[in-house]
Structure 1
Amino acid sequence: MLRAGRRTSLLAVGVATAALAALTPATAFAAPEPFGGPGQQRLRWERCAQDQPASLECTTVRVPLDYADPHGRTIGIAVSRMKADGTAKRRGVLLMNPGGPGGPGLTMPAEMAPRLAAEVRERFDLVGFDPRGVGRSTPVHCGLAPDEQALDHPYSAGTFGQDVARARSVADKCRARAGDLLPHLTTRNTARDMDAIRAALGERRISYLGHSYGTYLGAVYTQMFPRRADRFVLDSALDPALVWRGVPRGAAEAAELAFTRWTEWAAARDAAYGLGATPEAVRAAFWELVARADRTPIVLEGQAFDGDAIRAQYRAFVRVEAVTPFVVALKAAAAGAAAPAAPAEAETEVGAEAEGPDVDNMVSVAWAVLCGEGRSWPRDPEQYRRDAIRERAAHPLAGDFGSNIQPCAFWKSAPREATTVVNNDVDVLIVQNEWDPQTPLAMAEGMRRVLHGARMVTVAGGEGHGAVVAERPSCADADVTRYLVTGRLPAKDRTCG
């Protein structure tokens, strides 16, 4: 899922008619090239932006808004590329998606180029794109207020009425501003757009690097176009079986595991941090801070933290060394002492702390996909209340954040079926940090189970959302390079550390 903030683009969801989409994979591959194939579109490339490298060039690929009506209204998909460094060794294109749903991807080639091995850069054009509805690709804007741009909210009996009103407002605004586009903002349509990009570039197959939601998008592509998928790398994977109602629940469960690990880590360093000599003592100290903040918010560096605001940092607990000074600072501020450190940077959903004019666009597309694809969202607000109370009891740190009332309860466009069953033998490499706050290890293991031809590399002790896309080196980098260069997967699933 998307993060907010300065690194949104990397860190923070094929073309055919509706009839073709229902054909068997082999038959679909045998069909004529889709809308946008070679010779059907003349692509005009130009420099993407003055603040981007001159080697990053952009164009627009036209695709149908509705694939059931391939000769009807079209929309633009903004595409970028950095050409391969070598020509003799060039294999094709490496399409990229940063996550979301709603994440812009035009700058991803320039951001990933320094992180990929030279052997990879010699063989692939790096290709990014803004998915349909996003950024420069016929964008969708719902015109959401700042408090409507967060994807999750804590539950409180006293504010539940306001939460319901906010969720209804988001759904109403999106329908009023973009009702003609919303039904077509789906993962399967974005996969069809990917195949249109492949065809427009004159490529028989594509390779792919997808992060977070981009792993689900990539898996859906392999399900729809298995013989057009070359070398696919999925970094920080979602479990298709959880799409979409189950994803926040999975994250809440993982937050409890990360919190328990943190209490053990902090207890072992009580001499340095003074939070407690046992995990139980550290846990008690944390919840005492939450209760204290619920009575009187704790002011830290000019920001007031109530108990919910402290719990909202739950994604930060995967980074034990970073989050501990934040808790220490809260404890000191609560006692009236000078705060020794600033708050830790939390792993937040898109919109929670995002900056810039594109937040409305990203969140609008996120809701269009999350609500438009899911038939599992309850329609009764009271069901959300019951779910939030139950989930918080089971997972006190974060259980209510994702289970509280959502705009999906009031979404009017007919839900499109999400692809919850992938189940194929396409060769795929999954890479996963052991401690990922947004797509936890259990989700990646779920993706691995349905991709029977895949191999998975788990980074033991790896912290944060993203292994390959992270700015720091990973022990999975060599596996990714080998696979992209040679096509060879590891002999079996493995763990590196």
Structure 2
Amino acid sequence: MWVLRALRRPVMAAILTLATVLGFVRPATAAGPVSWKVCPEDEQVQCGVMRVPADWGDPYGPTIELQMARRQATDPARRIGVLIVNPGGPGGSAVNMALDGELFTPELRRRFDIIGLDPRGVGRSAPVLCSQALVDAKPSPLVPDEAAFRALAEYNRKLAADCTARSGPVVEHADTGSVVRDVEALRVALGEPRISILGASYGSLIGELYGETYPGTLRAVVLDSVMDHSVDVDTFLAQETAAVQDSFNEFVKWCARDARCVLRGQDIPRLWGTLMARAAAGTLEDPYDPPAKLGVWELISAAFSAFYDPQWFSFAHYLQDAAQPAAAAGRRGRDVPPIDLTPNSFPAVFCGDWALPVGDFTAYRRRLDVLAALAPQVRASPLALSAAAGCVGWPVPPASPQRVLSPAKLPMLLVNALHDPATGHAWARQVAAQLGPNARLLTYQGWGHIAYSHSPCVKTAVERYLIDLTLPAAGASCPAVEPEPFGVG
């Protein structure tokens, strides 16, 4: 019997390959059906499970379980079809996105089955889990010398081994090309002739690659906060860093015009420079967790996080309290019980999608100097530098590396904030150029990441396009919406 079992797999694989070549079988049919049940979080939403190959190149090898949530169209008689949604990250849960009943407009909820499929390695879909202690020990990408650079590579190799030991083969196959195969398998399992996609941030890459790979089964695609998956390592680092510096500059401008900014009237770049010097010297106290200290990397990362919404009001308070530690007395966080494992899909996904060779320490240090000259306040994009540094020494080569997109076969809608710290407006312009005349870029003239969540004007344009496939006029834009204070102090 063991002989028969040993022979069965290559024979069946050969049959599948021949059938695929002849057009009888699509590779996605290696996946199983979807099993649905009521979601425990919301009885109006169905939760589904589907098994797919861990490695689409080995359809009869180990499998993984993908999980999803489906919010069915509330007006079945006028149902258009399925809208696959993804919030990006990488690491954001599309299941949670679909469970959010307030995120999408009422008309979209009436006309579409909204399905959030957690990408492989993320959320509930065979999550990449790693040692919490090891993840917490991640070194700063701002390495000071060659020994630290070698230690960074060794750390990444150790992390990959730890995550693989705890999570299995998904770590080596978490690339977006594999996710696109999963989405196509879901379409086949649902029996839908065509689907629509709304991908935000890193989720836009799913829409880009699905549209290129399966143009005949795509009805519409919205790319919100657009990833440009064609740039090389230096362009990637420079454009991402320029986007963060732009957001810092916008924060300074806002503080000068809004009387509610607690730093109004102060020289914010000078204050920032003082805090950065104290962080470099190891004397800057975390204003909300004293007596813990903030390093340069932590301070830059705090700014980057604040620019996402943006949280300008609370960030101004944060800087004020950091400059005057006594003002934040009594804000120490509670002790949290230690956790053995933590979700950590970012390096597996990013290193599976990007070839970001930074060279040896000398070349890496030179790149850091270039970025610091480009962005004198923020020094580097925490997102981009974490990605590039996180792939140094990563043992799995990228399965879906960068390439220029083919022209779009159908009309596509791209939306992006003019001042986005994570996916700069330059990326949206570049991707629109790659996709050609079928792509239309709608610019939100404001700030923050994910334009759909910041602008009613953008929501209206997205809804109109998804429902009746009407694109905005060429060069159209939506006005900025000034942020309101929340979470201050």
TM-score by length of 2: 0.80
Match of 2:224 in 1: 235
Q: What is the aligned counterpart of 1:288 among 256, 262, 274?
A: 274
SS in 2 for 1:198: helix
Residues paired across the two proteins, number: 450
Deviation digits for residues 297-346 of structure 1, max 9, x if unmatched?
2352433453513222231246344422222232333xx5x359989xxx
Match of 2:379 in 1: 398
Amino acid at match of 1:298: E
Amino acid at match of 2:319: V
Match of 1:167 in 2: 156
Higher mean C-alpha displacement, 60-69 vs 438-447: 60-69
Question: 1:342–1:251: structure 2 CA closer, same or farther, 3 Å change rule?
Answer: farther
Match of 1:119 in 2: 107
Match of 2:39 in 1: 48
Q: What is the aligned counterpart of 1:482 among 447, 464, 469?
A: 464
Distance between the aligned counterparts of 2:356 and 2:279, measured in 1? 35
SS in 1 for 2:477: strand
Aligned ranges for residues 171-190 of structure 1 at < 5 Å? 171-177=160-166, 180-190=169-179
Contact 2:95 2:117 in 1 (8 A): yes
Distance between the aligned counterparts of 1:290 and 1:99, measured in 2? 30
Amino acid at match of 1:330: A
Higher mean C-alpha displacement, 259-268 vs 421-430: 259-268
Match of 1:3 in 2: none
Amino acid at match of 2:107: E
Match of 2:485 in 1: none
Match of 2:284 in 1: 297
Amino acid at match of 1:302: D
Distance between the aligned counterparts of 2:263 and 2:465, measured in 1? 46
Give 1:433 deviation, angstroms. 1.7
Match of 2:10 in 1: none
Alignment RMSD, CA only?
3.6
Higher mean C-alpha displacement, 400-409 vs 324-333: 400-409
Percent of paired sites with the same residue: 30
Match of 2:4 in 1: none
Give 1:226 deviation, angstroms. 0.9
Give 1:273 deviation, angstroms. 3.9
Match of 2:398 in 1: 415
Question: Does 1:207 pair with 2:196?
Answer: yes
Match of 1:493 in 2: 475
Amino acid at match of 2:285: I
Give 1:439 deviation, angstroms. 1.1
Amino acid at match of 1:474: P
Question: Does 1:458 pair with 2:438?
Answer: no
Distance between the aligned counterparts of 1:475 and 1:125, measured in 2? 23
Give 1:58 deviation, angstroms. 1.6
Distance between the aligned counterparts of 1:409 and 1:293, measured in 2? 25
Question: 1:118–1:175: structure 2 CA closer, same or farther, 3 Å change rule?
Answer: closer
Match of 2:356 in 1: 376
Amino acid at match of 2:419: W
Q: What is the aligned counterpart of 1:387 among 353, 362, 367?
A: 367
Q: What is the aligned counterpart of 2:320 among 328, 350, 353?
A: 328
Contact 2:131 2:341 in 1 (8 A): no
Deviation digits for residues 424-455 of structure 1, max 9, x if unmatched?
22311112122221112122222222222121
Contact 2:35 2:50 in 1 (8 A): no
SS in 1 for 2:423: coil
Q: Which runs of 5+ in 2 are unaligned?
A: 1-12, 480-489
Normalized per residue, which structure has more helix?
2
Deviation digits for residues 2-35 of structure 1, max 9, x if unmatched?
xxxxxxxxxxxxxxx99x99xxxxx99x945635
Question: 1:108–1:83: structure 2 CA closer, same or farther, 3 Å change rule?
Answer: same
Q: What is the aligned counterpart of 2:428 among 444, 448, 451?
A: 444
SS in 2 for 1:329: helix
Q: Which runs of 5+ in 1 are unaligned?
A: 1-16, 22-26, 344-353
Contact 1:372 1:413 in 2 (8 A): yes
Question: 1:200–1:460: structure 2 CA closer, same or farther, 3 Å change rule?
Answer: same
SS in 1 for 2:392: helix
SS in 2 for 1:480: helix
Contact 2:85 2:199 in 1 (8 A): yes
Give 1:355 deviation, angstroms. 11
Give 1:218 deviation, angstroms. 0.7
Distance between the aligned counterparts of 1:152 and 1:227, measured in 2? 45
Distance between the aligned counterparts of 2:45 and 2:467, measured in 1? 22
Give 1:93 deviation, angstroms. 0.4
Higher mean C-alpha displacement, 170-179 vs 61-70: 170-179
Give 1:217 deviation, angstroms. 1.2
SS in 2 for 1:409: coil
Q: What is the aligned counterpart of 1:135 among 112, 123, 137?
A: 123
Question: 1:299–1:118: structure 2 CA closer, same or farther, 3 Å change rule?
Answer: closer
Distance between the aligned counterparts of 1:484 and 1:272, measured in 2? 39
Contact 1:92 1:206 in 2 (8 A): yes
Question: 1:274–1:139: structure 2 CA closer, same or farther, 3 Å change rule?
Answer: closer
SS in 2 for 1:115: coil
Distance between the aligned counterparts of 2:391 and 2:230, measured in 1? 18
Distance between the aligned counterparts of 1:447 and 1:136, measured in 2? 30
